[in-house]
């Protein structure tokens, strides 16, 4: 399996220094994050993002399991009392039939929202890995400056003009 490389040349004191770096691939980062959430961030060397990914994912998994347990209790109570509409005690509290239906719908909705939230965390993990991989070689140096310099503009057929120009250095 061949690894693609990118060559960067720098001139310093009339000599050329060639640095060979392996090319950082956004497609690899996407594939890694799709297989195991957070692996793309490890590939991009953004380790600090892992607790956020697994923290959010863990919160949604916990929310799913909690709401699924409550939903099952209310669903069983509704199906057992479909004809009699009797009061049922769930976790030490008495519920009439309408409250049982409301509880069933409430916990089913919250359970489904947790599934959507977990899917959103998974997709955002993949998108974040792709964006970070694209900006892997982006230089953010401390020497970002702006300088206002005088410029002499020579117009043909007219007198020379003195102007100010903006010089941006990155």
For 164, the token pair is 């100010």
The whole-model pTM stands at 0.70
CA of 88: how far to CAs of 5, 77, 97, 108, in Å? 68, 7, 8, 19
Ranges in the chain, pLDDT < 70: 1-21, 143-147, 160, 162, 164-170
DSSP tag of 36: S
For 99, the token pair is 């409250």
Question: What whole-number distance in Å separates Cα of residue 168 and Cα of residue 148?
Answer: 9
What residue segments make up the domains of the chain, in order of their start? 25-141
DSSP tag of 23: P
> 21: Cβ–Cβ under 8 A, 6 or more apart, which residues?
5, 6, 8
> 168: Cβ–Cβ under 8 A, 6 or more apart, which residues?
145, 146
pLDDT at 8: 52
pLDDT at 102: 96
């Amino acid at each position: 399996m061949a690894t693609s490389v990118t060559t960067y040349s720098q001139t310093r004191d009339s000599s050329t220094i060639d640095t060979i770096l392996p090319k950082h691939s956004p497609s690899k980062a996407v594939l890694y994050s799709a297989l195991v959430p957070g692996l793309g961030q490890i590939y991009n060397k953004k380790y600090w993002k892992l607790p956020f990914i697994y923290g959010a994912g863990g919160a949604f998994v916990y929310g799913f399991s909690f709401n699924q347990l409550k939903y099952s209790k209310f669903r069983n109570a509704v199906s057992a009392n479909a004809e009699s509409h009797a009061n049922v005690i769930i976790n030490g509290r008495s519920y009439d039939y309408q409250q049982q239906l409301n509880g069933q719908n409430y916990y089913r909705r919250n359970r489904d929202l947790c599934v959507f939230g977990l899917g959103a965390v998974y997709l955002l993990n993949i998108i974040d890995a792709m964006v970070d991989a694209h900006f892997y070689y982006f230089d953010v140096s401390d020497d970002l400056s702006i300088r206002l310099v005088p410029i002499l503009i020579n117009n043909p057929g007219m007198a020379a003009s003195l102007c100010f120009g903006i010089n941006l250095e990155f």
